[in-house]
Amino acid sequence: MSLHYRTALAGCLLVTSPFLAQNAAAHQAGDWLLKFGVTQVRPDSDNGSVLGGTVDLDASDNVEPSISLTWMATDHLGIELLGALPFEHEIKSRALGGKIATTKQLPPTLSVQWHFLPTATVQPYVGVGVNYTRFFDTDTKGALSGSRLVLDDSFGLAGQVGVHVPFNEGWFINADVRYADIDTDVNLNSTRIGTANIDPWVTTVGFGLAF
C-alpha cells in the first residue's frame, strides 16, 4: 500500500479510536456490506512489449470513485462484487517517443472473502476471486496517430487483503489492497502485435454500512 493510503488510514484510526471500544459493530450471516470509496489502479511498472520485444509499453495510474457490495454467507465468509467508474490510462512507449494511446477500462471483480474477526474492533479479511476487465474507447496518439489500436478483454485471478474498522452502529472504515492478473492482447490495424501485462495493484480507502 502506498504511503498516501497508509497515512490516510492511520489518520482515520486516530480520529475514531476513542469510540471503537464502545461502538464496534459486528457483521453476521445474512448481512449486506455496502462500501463506497476511492480506488487507485496502479499498473505494474513494466507492462511488457510488443512487435517482437522492440516496442515497450507503460500504462499510467488512475484514481476513480468505487463501490462494492458484500453478502455475508456466514459470520466469516463473504462474497463481494467490486465496481467503479471507468478508469482511464495513458499508454506510453520510450521506443516510440512517449504517449501512443489512451484507453478506458472497467474491472469488475468477484471475490470470496474470509473475515477472521467479525466481532472485533479491527476486522481483517482476505479474499480471492476473478477479475474481468473490459477495455474501450482506445484512442491512438503520437507515433500511432491514425492507426486503430484494440485491447482485448481480460479474465484473471485477483487476491485481496483488507480491514474494516467500525466507528458507529453499522458504519465502518474500509481499506484494502488487491493484486489483479490483467493481460490483454494488443491489436494494431486488426493484426495482433503482442500482449500487454497490466497486472495492477488496486488500493481502496473508504467507508461502509452493514445492514
Rounded CA separation 99/43 (Å): 16
156-196 residue pLDDT tens: 999 999 999 999 889 999 999 999 999 999 999 999 999 99
- pLDDT(14) > 80: no
pLDDT (0 to 100) of residue 74: 97
Spell 153-191 as b/e; 16+ CB within 10 A means b.
ebebebebebbbbbbeeeebbbbbbbbbbbbbebbbeee
88-120 residue pLDDT tens: 999 999 999 999 999 999 999 999 999 999 999
Sorted by sequence, the CB contacts under 8 Å of residue 173 that are 6+ apart come out as 9, 12, 13, 16, 164, 165, 167, 206, 207, 208
- pLDDT(128) > 80: yes
Rg, the chain, Cα only: 19
Strands 201-210 and 191-197, by their bridges, are unpaired
Tell which residue, 47, 39, 57, 46, has the closest CA to residue 2: 39
pLDDT (0 to 100) of residue 194: 96
36-52 residue pLDDT tens: 999 999 999 889 999 99
For 31, counting Cβ atoms within 10 Å of its Cβ (0-12 exposed, 13-18 middle, 19+ buried), the class is middle
Q: What percent of the chain has pLDDT over 70?
A: 88
